[in-house]
Structure 1
């Protein structure tokens, strides 16, 4: 089961400047404001800023599909020809993420909320 695209994470080089830009764009304060990640919620969407994204292979924003079982969906994407760039990782509180690159270089993310673990 998947609930759709609800999260987009942007790799950023200057977290302070990116945070100011997205604060102005979204007109909300971040719900998470750490040196390793800044997250905003606006209009039913999560928008994240990842200062380490470029180092992990993020070449642009990554849309994250919310799924019930991230490992099953990751295996299905790999079977379909995707290359794993970020294997399943717990990013805190039981929230799991992973992302892949398709044959055209597009990035696709998967996320599993703790309640689905």
Structure 2
């Protein structure tokens, strides 16, 4: 499986305000609406709002590349010079995420579904 960009997560400070904004932008209601995460599906994309993103080191939106083997892909990124900001974590249902910072300060996320 080659990596595919299907998810972007935005760090937000005011979850209710961000949810209203993205509902208006995407013209859909969230499929996930929890105090720790709000998620939308629109036009083949998964758009998430993370109220804890800033404390995890997110400085802006993080694109998440869907991969088959998150640990090997993370190791490859580190070997190529990336710095791990958020190590592999199960966020529920076996879905694993991680994100790194590249040499230019860009954030790159990895996501592996169960």
TM-score normalised by structure 2 residue count: 0.98
| Cα RMSD after superposing both structures | 0.6
Alignment of 1:1-117 (within 5 A): 1-114=1-114
Gaps of 5+ in 2: none
Q: Report the Cα offset of residue 100 of structure 1.
A: 0.1
Q: Report the Cα offset of residue 68 of structure 1.
A: 0.2
Q: Is the 8 A contact 1:99 1:109 kept in 2?
A: yes
CA distance in 1, matches of 2:73, 2:3: 13
Q: Report the Cα offset of residue 62 of structure 1.
A: 0.1
Q: Is the 8 A contact 1:2 1:65 kept in 2?
A: no
Gaps of 5+ in 1: none
CA distance in 1, matches of 2:73, 2:82: 11
TM-score normalised by structure 1 residue count: 0.96
CA distance in 2, matches of 1:19, 1:105: 27
Displacement over 4 Å in runs of 4+ = none
What secondary structure sits across from 2:29 in the alignment? coil
The count of residues paired between Structure 1 and Structure 2 equals 114
